[in-house]
Amino acid sequence: MTGPTRRETLLLGAAALVPASALAQAETPRRGGVLTVHFATEQRILNPSLQASTGVYIVGGKIQEALLDLDAQGNPVGVLAESWESAPDGLTHVFRLRRGVTWHDGRPFTSADVQFTAMEMWKKILNYGTTLQQFLTEVQTPDPHTAIFKYERPMPQGLLLRALPDLGYISPKHVFETGDIRQNPANTAPVGTGPFRFVQYERGQFIIAERNPNYWRENMPYLDRVVWRVVPDRAAAAAQMEAGQILFSPYSSLTIADMQRLGRDPRFEVTTRGNEGNARTNTLEFNFRTPQLADIRVRRAIAHALNVPFFIENFLGPFAKVGTGPIPSVSTDYYPAGDIPQYRFDQALANRLLDEAGHRRGAGGVRFSLRLHPAPWGEDIALWSTFIQQSLQQVGIRIEIVRLDAAGYLRTVYNDHAFDLATGWHQYRSDPAVSTTVWYRSGSPRGAPWTNQWGWVDPRIDAIIDNAATEVDPARRRALYADFVRAVQTELPLWMPIEQIFVSVFNRRVRNGGNNPRWASSSWHDTWLAS
């Protein structure tokens, strides 16, 4: 995987100094210390086997482990799996598991845990996993250290290996095999094999994990503890960073102004490094159960009514660029070439389309009203929702913004479907079949976050998605994904008009920070703190 060449490090005054990760290469790691982390949005679940989300990975990825992760170059590297091999037809994938690994409660990690997690969690519950693993028929366990994945349709090895760092976390069978998996207490007090053991979770305040003394990586981790401080107020979080109470703020969780200001302070590094595997696009999601939005002319009118370049220039600056569809430009393998439908700002065309759809202006110039639910993840989403409101008012659409906390937003949009418009982040994870096409394919379980919950079904696009996900020839896969982008940009069931890379803010005491493309989500087993 090739990371982005643009804005890899935000050169904001002091942020242009040598990264702390580079300094760490010339230093001897120091044992001990507590890494304090900004945790902006609680999601009420910490188990990454059940919910794929940066808000889950930032905690759960230190406690539980996946079969694979990414190395510094973005290539798959073994974690709970030591090696793997695939049949040429893509129907069988064999994973040799690491020996001598134990769960935090002392029980041995075995292939039975992999089999149970894959079949009962990834395939049935995990928001992106249900689509990715829809053709998984069984996981054979011929011995405690071998797991054989069998598929009824081909699973390209490249896709599977790219997916497993995010969608390959393992949970202990002995903890989850009895009762309702979704209601298991271990979802908020996780039991894992990772470098840190769960200690305590006080809602609205903090989460604590401590060093796992029996971790399989010798002499690791270096840190004594990780403490996630729940600070939804972004200005307060910036103040705590300046006071040394927080040492790391991930995933663009501070305000844009504060990130720019801290970037001029020599105590901090403000960078996109370590987020290359988490490119994101801002979304505008349409609920097809709302009659006006089921009309393609209205969806296209809304897109044409939004001056995206103006918004980026005046509100996001160097942190963003205009997007062209669901596959961002950082995807060197799958970014489509050729003529892809785009929706340039054209207020006159927006008005004409709304008139053609039969929505004439009424009293006060209003055509109709809609509710917009913005996700509470980042300042850019809040700014974008207000910009949508003001822009659509100009073409006669009245917007009521409904702001909820993370749990309320996820429930309202993805389970209750009680919204008209929603806006948040889509994250692209190396391959379109990992976390992108699931936003468009019908059939996802109700309540699965960041999946197609729009009431929109297109069998033709479903077929393209399935064929691309099971095509083992790379050239044919690229062609199918170009067809996919062209089709969804034409039908516009949702829109992804802004492309970004997450920004991290480090205190320069943090060493080995950002040393792989999904660092904030990964295990931090080799992270340490300078004195």
> Secondary structure of the chain: what % helix, strand, coil (to 5)?
35, 20, 45
Domains of the chain and any CATH numbers: 13-63+194-276+503-529 (3.40.190.10), 68-176 (3.90.76.10), 279-501 (3.10.105.10)
Instruction: Give the pLDDT score at 1.
Output: 37
Mean pLDDT, residues 124-135: 92
Tell me what percent of the residues of the chain surpass a pLDDT of 90: 87
Q: Is the pLDDT of residue 25 over 70?
A: no
Q: Is the pLDDT of residue 374 over 60?
A: yes
Among 221, 184, 179, CA closest to 65? 221
pLDDT digits (tens, 9 = 90+) for 411-440: 999 999 999 999 999 999 889 999 999 999
Is 117 within 8 Å of 173 (Cβ atoms)? yes
How far apart CA 44 and CA 188 sit, in angstroms, is 7
Cβ neighbour number for residue 230 with a 10 Å cutoff: 17
Instruction: Give the pLDDT score at 410.
Output: 94
At residue 278 the predicted structure's pLDDT band, cuts being 50, 70 and 90, is confident
Instruction: Give the pLDDT score at 20.
Output: 53
pLDDT digits (tens, 9 = 90+) for 84-105: 999 999 999 999 999 999 999 9
**7 vs 386, higher pLDDT:** 386
Instruction: Give the pLDDT score at 21.
Output: 52
Phi/psi for 67 (5° steps) reads -65, -35
Is 434 within 8 Å of 159 (Cβ atoms)? yes
How far apart CA 447 and CA 21 sit, in angstroms, is 39
Q: How far is CA 114 from the centre of its chain?
A: 23
Output the six-digit token pair for 452: 């197609």
Give the predicted TM-score (pTM) of the model. 0.84
For residue 152, give every residue at least 6 positions away whose Cβ sits within 8 Å of its Cβ, in sequence order, or none: 91, 135, 137
At residue 318 the predicted structure's pLDDT band, cuts being 50, 70 and 90, is confident
Instruction: Give the pLDDT score at 44.
Output: 81
Instruction: Give the pLDDT score at 180.
Output: 96
Is 432 within 8 Å of 325 (Cβ atoms)? no
Q: Is the pLDDT of residue 17 over 80?
A: no
Instruction: Give the pLDDT score at 42.
Output: 86
Residue 199: burial class (beta carbons within 10 Å; 0-12, 13-18, 19+): middle
Among 233, 115, 140, 158, CA closest to 431? 158
Q: Is the pLDDT of residue 8 over 50?
A: no
State how beta strands 421-423 and 279-286 pair.
Answer: antiparallel
Mean pLDDT, residues 301-324: 94
pLDDT digits (tens, 9 = 90+) for 449-496: 999 999 999 999 999 999 999 999 999 999 999 999 999 999 999 999
How far apart CA 528 and CA 531 sit, in angstroms, is 10
Q: Is the pLDDT of residue 328 over 90?
A: yes
Is 409 within 8 Å of 375 (Cβ atoms)? yes
Q: Which of 240-244, 286-290, 319-323, 358-362 is predicted least confidently? A: 319-323
Is 251 within 8 Å of 378 (Cβ atoms)? yes
Is 170 within 8 Å of 109 (Cβ atoms)? yes
Instruction: Give the pLDDT score at 11.
Output: 35
Among 390, 400, 481, 368, CA closest to 434? 481
**Average pLDDT of the chain, as a whole number:** 93
At residue 332 the predicted structure's pLDDT band, cuts being 50, 70 and 90, is confident
Mean pLDDT, residues 125-129: 92
pLDDT digits (tens, 9 = 90+) for 398-413: 999 999 999 899 999 9
Mean pLDDT, residues 181-207: 97
Looking up tokens 């969804």 gives 488
